[in-house]
């Protein structure tokens, strides 16, 4: 393995065991990041080639979405082998080189672990199909007999989270449970072999130098499938108090206690962050030091650009973090939701609680083909910059999603024939799916696939991507990329302990807080200018004129 000298100014890799507490973590969706072999899919070498970009951006770590062998039935969240690299993306040697390059540039790496389900191409599922009913191979999954005449009806009326039945019938007549796509059979976490195999996987990547793990649907692994199984209506009537048969069961933490032993056997201990869509009161269980250690806080994904909501979410999540002893996480976008520049540019009525549009738009989202474009792109970007600089001033760790540093919008104009996301196919016409935030990044304003790769991109990039390309923004002090670079740089300088003191700005549309050493963050969420508080201006998300804080703008100040 060769480790080339870093070509841009880099930070030292921190040895502190708690490096993660206030880290800025950049999510790389590998198939849409950078393509070096010209097959239209991003690859591991593409990420390695962009490590200097990540170092210059100033992130502390990357979170790499699944890069394992996969049929891509769910964008890689259908894993066929947890201890290998998808040949379409590269090799284990490429991963070793990526890890080495990241570390040489002072950047840690967190990888995605998908333990609720495998791909139906996983050797275990293939064995289960071949071995037949009653076999040990079927015991690794959740197989049941059907109901009705000849068992032709599914065991229950449960629905998959992606739409349609949660059960699929196999050739010999049995049914298997899949809470997600039909290609993602749920594993049986009562099975000791399943538990042991994931311990092996965690050690495999930890031994290769991976620093931490993001745990996919961490709240769904363990299940109580005692017969008779409840109906959907019965399930819906049950409380989520740790005893629900399918969701957020207390006994899932027995699994994580074993994982914790593995994490703590490394120096520094490996970290984990739970993707757990659970009631807020249950989040500290996942974030505790005995369990996964940190949990995502998704509240801002569901919030409007609204001062009262932002303030409440910050207060609530700092309190929850204090309860678990962990630090909280701030997330404005990820690979599952509409990009926040677009959410903030849509009228509230045009999007649901999860940020997705409530009805199908077309190109009129982004193009002014109609009389009135539904999306106000400039306003969305302005608010996105204000929200990002608000979040980057908070204590705790911030998760950025690739492309948000460019102010990228959701791509609405993907023809149905080009769509890939199973949520689109399993709920035809209702949900546009998540492809619009997964379109390959524009690196250059000109050239093949905007610099993503030599031969196009696996999801079509719109012409307007040109204006957002990295090379357009590089060196432009007013660009969103420059704003993120400056914010991350300053954050490194200013960030000390995790305290936050609210400041009364004297008006409802302005939210302000102070961090240690006079670092002050003030956001005007309103549509009118507000007075600019006293202090040395360190950063502003929009141009300042005179002593006013413009509408929809965040400033960082140093108060003396
Ligand atoms: C998580 C992932 C999502 C995936 C699902 C099933 O929610 O973030 O992308 O589809 O799990 O693995």
77 vs 296, 425, 465, CA distance in Å? 18, 16, 27
State whether the beta carbon of 336 lies less than 6 angstroms from ligand 1: yes
* Centroid of ligand 1 to alpha carbon of 114 (angstroms): 8
Using most ligand atoms within 8 A of CB, pick from 68, 336, 423 the residue to mutate for ligand 1: 336
Mean pLDDT of 314-336: 96
Is residue 342 one of the residues assigned to a domain? yes
Supply the pLDDT for residue 364.
Answer: 41
Q: How far apart are CA 390 and CA 303, in angstroms?
A: 14
Contact 483, 541 (CB under 8 A): yes
Contact 172, 216 (CB under 8 A): no
Residues 292 and 382 in one domain: yes
Residues 472 and 505 in one domain: no
Helices 252-264 & 192-207, crossing angle to 10 degrees? Answer: 30
Residues 421 and 540 in one domain: no
Supply the pLDDT for residue 429.
Answer: 58
Residues 353 and 409 in one domain: yes
Is residue 184 one of the residues assigned to a domain? no
Supply the pLDDT for residue 362.
Answer: 43
The count of domains in the chain is 3
* Centroid of ligand 1 to alpha carbon of 190 (angstroms): 22
Residues 48 and 127 in one domain: no
Instruction: Return the CATH number at 290.
Output: 3.20.20.80
Instruction: Find where tokens 């090799």 sit.
Output: 91
Residue numbers of the domain that contains 197:
19-115+192-491
Mean pLDDT of 52-65: 98
Residues 438 and 291 in one domain: yes
**Atom from ligand 1 closest to the CA of residue 181:** 6
Residues 131 and 261 in one domain: no
Instruction: Return the CATH number at 155.
Output: 3.90.400.10
Residues 212 and 353 in one domain: yes
pLDDT in tens, 462-521: 999 999 999 999 999 999 999 999 999 999 999 999 999 999 999 999 999 999 999 999
Mean pLDDT of 191-209: 98
Residues 330 and 386 in one domain: yes
Residues 163 and 297 in one domain: no
At 103, list the tokens.
Answer: 């570390």
How does DSSP classify residue 90? Answer: -
Is residue 12 one of the residues assigned to a domain? no
**Atom from ligand 1 closest to the CA of residue 162:** 10
Mean pLDDT of 275-285: 96
Is residue 185 one of the residues assigned to a domain? no
State whether the beta carbon of 310 lies less than 6 angstroms from ligand 1: no
State whether the beta carbon of 24 lies less than 6 angstroms from ligand 1: no
Residues 454 and 530 in one domain: no
Q: How far apart are CA 117 and CA 194, in angstroms?
A: 11
Higher pLDDT, 353 or 557: 557
Phi, psi of 396 (to 5 degrees): 105, -175
519 vs 184, 389, 512, 536, 555, CA distance in Å? 47, 13, 11, 10, 10
Supply the pLDDT for residue 8.
Answer: 60
């Amino acid at each position: 393995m060769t480790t080339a000298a870093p070509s841009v100014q880099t930070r030292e890799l921190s040895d502190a065991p708690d490096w993660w507490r206030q880290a800025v973590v950049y999510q790389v969706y590998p198939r849409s990041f950078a393509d070096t072999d010209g097959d239209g899919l991003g690859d591991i070498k593409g990420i390695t080639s962009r490590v200097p970009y990540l170092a210059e951006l100033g992130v502390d770590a990357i979170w790499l979405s699944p890069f394992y062998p996969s049929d891509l039935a769910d964008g890689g969240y259908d894993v066929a082998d947890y201890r290998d690299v998808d040949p379409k993306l590269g090799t284990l040697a490429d991963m070793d080189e990526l890890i080495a390059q990241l570390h040489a540039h002072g950047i840690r790496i967190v990888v995605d672990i998908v333990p609720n389900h495998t791909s139906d191409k996983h050797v275990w599922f293939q064995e289960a199909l071949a071995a037949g009913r009653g076999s040990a191979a079927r015991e690794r999954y959740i197989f049941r007999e059907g109901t009705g005449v000849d068992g032709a009806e599914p065991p229950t009326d449960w629905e998959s989270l992606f739409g349609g039945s949660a059960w699929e019938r196999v050739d010999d007549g049995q049914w298997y449970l899949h809470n997600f796509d039909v290609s993602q059979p749920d594993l049986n976490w009562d099975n000791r072999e399943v538990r042991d195999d994931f311990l092996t996987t965690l050690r495999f990547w930890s031994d290769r130098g991976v620093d931490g793990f993001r745990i996919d649907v961490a709240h769904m692994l363990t299940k109580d499938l005692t017969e008779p199984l409840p109906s959907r209506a019965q399930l819906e009537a049950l409380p989520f108090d740790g005893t629900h048969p399918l969701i957020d069961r207390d006994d899932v933490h027995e699994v994580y206690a074993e994982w914790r032993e593995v994490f703590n056997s490394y120096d520094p201990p490996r970290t984990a962050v739970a993707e757990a869509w659970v009631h807020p009161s249950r989040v500290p269980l996942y974030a505790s030091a005995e369990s996964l250690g940190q949990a995502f806080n998704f509240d801002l994904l569901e919030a409007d650009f609204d001062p009262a909501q932002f303030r409440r979410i910050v207060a609530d999540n700092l309190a929850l973090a204090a309860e678990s002893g962990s630090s909280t996480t701030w997330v404005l976008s990820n690979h599952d939701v509409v990009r926040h520049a677009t959410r903030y540019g849509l009228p509230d009525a045009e999007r649901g609680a999860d940020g997705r549009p409530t009805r199908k738009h077309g190109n009129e989202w982004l193009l002014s083909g109609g009389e009135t474009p539904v999306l106000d792109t400039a306003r969305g970007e302005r608010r996105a910059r204000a929200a990002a600089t608000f979040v980057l001033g908070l204590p705790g760790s911030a998760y950025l999603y690739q492309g948000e540093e460019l102010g990228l919008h959701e791509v609405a104009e993907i023809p149905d024939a080009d769509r890939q996301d199973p949520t689109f196919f399993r709920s035809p016409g209702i949900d546009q799916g998540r492809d619009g935030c997964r379109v390959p990044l524009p690196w250059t304003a000109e050239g093949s696939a905007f610099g993503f790769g030599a031969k196009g991109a696996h999801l079509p990039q719109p012409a307007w991507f040109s204006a957002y390309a990295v090379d357009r923004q590089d060196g432009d002090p007013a660009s969103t990329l420059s704003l993120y670079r400056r914010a991350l740089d300053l954050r490194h300088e200013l960030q000390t302990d995790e305290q936050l003191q609210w400041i009364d700005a004297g008006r409802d549309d302005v939210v302000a807080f102070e961090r240690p050493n006079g670092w002050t963050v003030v956001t005007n969420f309103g549509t009118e200018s507000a007075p600019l508080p006293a202090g040395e201006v360190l950063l502003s998300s929009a141009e300042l004129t005179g002593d006013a804080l413009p509408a929809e703008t965040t400033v960082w100040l140093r108060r003396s």
